[in-house]
Amino acid sequence: MPPLTPPNTLPVIADGIPQELRVLPHHQAMLDASAIAPEVAAERGYWSARTRAELSRLGFADYQALAPALVMNEKLLVDVVEAARLCAVSRAHLYQRVMDGSIASIKIGRARRIPMEALRTWIARELESAPGQAAQR
């Protein structure tokens, strides 16, 4: 099935790779057949994970890591409540880590947002600083 847009105008995702090279043909056919506009698909950053290892790195459990899979890019920023849920800690604990500078955050107006990369960095630091003790904090 041909893409909805001419090849020379296919959306390019953030890393500069044309979407047609990041999405396997059968996944592109699924997107083309859906009600998702090509611009929206490009904005969402759909891509095809081709191996179980790629899916495992994204946090999929073994039984979920069925490749190939159509994947959307994750959010870049989350609020404190969502960050706490993702890390399986209380909102108060996570907010305390933000306020003491352990977890980087930004303010957008009155809202505080946490970059996903900041959560990963914090978790890695916790694991490095006290292996076996990180779970007790």
Q: One digit per residue, pLDDT tens: the chain, 137 residues? A: 333 333 334 444 445 555 556 889 999 999 999 988 888 887 777 889 999 988 888 878 899 999 999 998 767 888 999 899 888 899 999 999 999 999 999 999 999 999 988 998 999 898 888 766 645 54
pTM over 0.95: no
Residues 6+ apart with CB under 8 A from 88: none
CA 95/CA 93 separation, integer angstroms: 5
CA-to-CA separations, 4 to 9, 12, 50, in angstroms, rounded = 10, 14, 23
Q: Which two tokens stand for residue 29?
A: 């056919």
The 10 Å CB-count burial string (b at 16+, else e) for 110-123 is: eebbbbeebbeebe
At residue 124, φ and ψ (nearest 5 deg) are -60, -40
Q: What is the pLDDT of residue 136?
A: 52
Strand partners for 18: 12
DSSP state of 18: B
CA 80/CA 91 separation, integer angstroms: 7
Q: What is the pLDDT of residue 16?
A: 54
Q: Which two tokens stand for residue 126?
A: 């916790």
By three-state DSSP, how is residue 122 classified?
A: helix
